[in-house]
């Protein structure tokens, strides 16, 4: 009799837990391949901001030709569709990263520009091979700003800059523009700290890092979009050892 009761209870429990159905009828999982990812702090970083615009070789300055570079420092490909970039400071605005078909591979970059590049159009962006275009992205000339990268679930991933301070690096000096680059550190380097950033510097390197700048702009637009950042020669914060 006791065995019969136990079997009856099991049958009742099974009846109360029906088959959940096919996977498409269940809650979706963000795997980064078929849809946007959730993220973790430290795995995706803002590594360069070209807030000062571009200058063509003939000296023509375009303050609206700006870009933001994001690097995947995690251990899996990431797609940032529907992530947010919030700008706070003199101007407060939020930009949504539009859909991009290819995920960012580990160690690779997502380049966001405000103007598309057209090879046969001399008035198009100086920055080539952008992954996405956000046409209302704009930075005031030297106005304080802080960018905050939020994932698709609106969780804080990475800050860059300060809402009350001028840009930590980068410049337009009337002749050239230089981007604001993240110092290449193994550890640390919070984007909200001035010592984490430096001006783009010209260096003798085996592999050029300005190949995503159009030839007609390369003499006066100094930046490394979608390429490794230039060395930091300040020595104040980037130098050090493990001990």
Q: For residues 10 and 61, give the distance between their C-alpha atoms in angstroms, rounded to a whole number.
A: 76
Partners of 197 in the β-ladder: 182
* CATH 2.102.10.10 at 37-222, yes or no: no
In tens, the pLDDT along 33-46 reads 555 566 667 789 99
Report phi then psi at 24, rounded to 5.
-70, -10
For residues 124-147, average pLDDT:
95
Q: What is the pLDDT of residue 18?
A: 54
Q: What is the pLDDT of residue 10?
A: 41
What's the whole-model pTM score?
Answer: 0.81
Q: Domain locations in the chain?
A: 37-222
DSSP-derived secondary structure for 157-189: EEEEEETTS--SS-EE-SS-EE-EEE---SS--
């Amino acid at each position: 009799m006791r065995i019969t009761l136990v079997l009856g209870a099991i049958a009742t429990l099974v009846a109360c837990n029906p088959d959940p159905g096919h996977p498409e009828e269940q809650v979706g999982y963000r795997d980064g391949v078929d849809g946007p990812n959730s993220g973790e702090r430290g795995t995706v970083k803002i590594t360069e901001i070209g807030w000062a615009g571009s200058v063509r070789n003939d000296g023509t300055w375009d303050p609206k030709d700006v870009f933001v570079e994001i690097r995947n420092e995690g251990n899996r490909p990431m797609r940032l569709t529907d992530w947010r970039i919030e700008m706070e400071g003199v101007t407060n605005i939020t930009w949504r990263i539009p859909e991009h078909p290819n995920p960012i591979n580990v160690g690779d970059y997502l380049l966001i520009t405000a103007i598309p590049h057209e090879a046969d159009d001399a008035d198009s962006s100086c920055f080539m091979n952008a992954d996405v275009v956000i046409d209302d992205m704009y930075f005031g000339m030297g106005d304080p700003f802080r960018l905050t990268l939020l994932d698709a679930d609106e969780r804080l991933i990475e800050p860059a800059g300060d809402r009350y301070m001028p840009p930590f690096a980068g410049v337009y000096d009337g002749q050239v523009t230089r981007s604001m680059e993240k110092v290449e550190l193994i550890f640390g380097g919070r984007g909200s700290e001035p010592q984490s950033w430096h001006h783009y510097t010209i260096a003798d390197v085996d592999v050029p890092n300005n190949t995503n700048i159009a030839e007609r702009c390369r003499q006066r637009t100094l930046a490394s979009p979608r390429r490794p950042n230039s060395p930091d020669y300040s020595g104040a914060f980037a130098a050090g050892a493990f001990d």
